[in-house]
Homo-oligomer: A and B are copies of this chain.
Amino acid sequence: MTTQANTKLWELAGKEEGRVFSPYAWRVRLVLAHKGLKFETVPWRYSEKDLIKPSDKVPVLDIEDKRLFESWEISKYLDEQRPDQSLFKTKCQAGASGIQFITTWADNNMYMAITVVILMDMYNHLAPQDKDYFRKSREALFGQKLEEVCKDSPAKIAAFRKEMEPLRQTLKDHKWLGGEQIDYADIAVAGMFLWARAISDKQLLEKDDPIFKWRERIFKVFNSTIKNSIGYPV
């Protein structure tokens, strides 16, 4: 499979085009990099829902003659098209269920624990035209003002670190969630940290945390694509 110059990955961007922060779009970006596939990144704002129909959220991937959406579906598609160094096909089914489990945990537990730390930081980086929508929808979700959701940052960061215990224990004994090589579980988790990196200078992890060391390793592996985006030092 080759990708045309016009393979496009639509990513959530803020006021600055190069500051991209959908954790799910980051997953697809890493999968494309892992597979050595060339693509163009298209900065998208919440106010541009018409441009990504029939999806109403990113990531959206325009590839060959198809429009694909949902990070899991897109990533599986790319993995099947370029099966060497597979991110999903493990030699045993325990590996496959581990990938699913960890990805869903990242979508739920990690997502929520990070959100309550960085929601205001994210709001502050949005394009002006997106701020109203974001505030209304998130405040409806939380039943609170954005500022209330994020207050007492040290406590929220401590809670995040506690929530990370399954990840921490696993990374004490394993180089990657995929064992000796990166698999989609690593990418799913990395996407969450890349979201935080893009819009917040808050330090989510302590330096001696096994997760900190893993994050350093995976950011280094994907440095060539990460450095083409705006973010804070971790």
| CB-defined contacts of A177 to chain B, threshold 8 Å | 94, 97, 101
| CB-defined contacts of A170 to chain B, threshold 8 Å | 97, 100-101, 104
Q: Of the 9-residue stretches A9-17, A18-26, A149-157, A161-169, which lies at the interface with chain B?
A: A161-169
Any B CB within 8 A of the CB of A231 = no
Closest B residue to A108 using CB positions: B165
Q: Of the 9-residue stretches A33-41, A63-71, A135-143, A179-187, which lies at the interface with chain B?
A: A179-187
| CB-defined contacts of A169 to chain B, threshold 8 Å | 100-101, 104
B90, B101, B108: the one contacting A92 at CB < 8 Å is B90
How far is B121's CA from A179's CA once the two chains are assembled, in angstroms? Answer: 41
| CB-defined contacts of A100 to chain B, threshold 8 Å | 169-170, 173-174
How far is B98's CA from A166's CA once the two chains are assembled, in angstroms? Answer: 10
Any B CB within 8 A of the CB of A99 = yes
How far is B97's CA from A99's CA once the two chains are assembled, in angstroms? Answer: 10
Residue pair B185, A94 in contact (C-beta under 8 Å)? yes
How far is B92's CA from A183's CA once the two chains are assembled, in angstroms? Answer: 11
Any B CB within 8 A of the CB of A223 = no
Any B CB within 8 A of the CB of A91 = yes
Q: Majority SS of interface residues in chain A?
A: helix
A94 to chain B, nearest CB (A): 3
A234 to chain B, nearest CB (A): 22
| CB-defined contacts of A109 to chain B, threshold 8 Å | 109, 166
Any B CB within 8 A of the CB of A93 = yes
Closest B residue to A102 using CB positions: B101
Any B CB within 8 A of the CB of A127 = no
Residue pair A96, B166 in contact (C-beta under 8 Å)? no
A-B contact pairs, 22 of them (CB 8 A): A91-B91, A91-B92, A93-B179, A94-B95, A94-B98, A94-B185, A97-B170, A97-B173, A97-B178, A97-B179, A97-B185, A98-B98, A98-B101, A100-B169, A101-B105, A101-B166, A101-B169, A101-B170, A101-B177, A102-B166, A104-B165, A108-B165
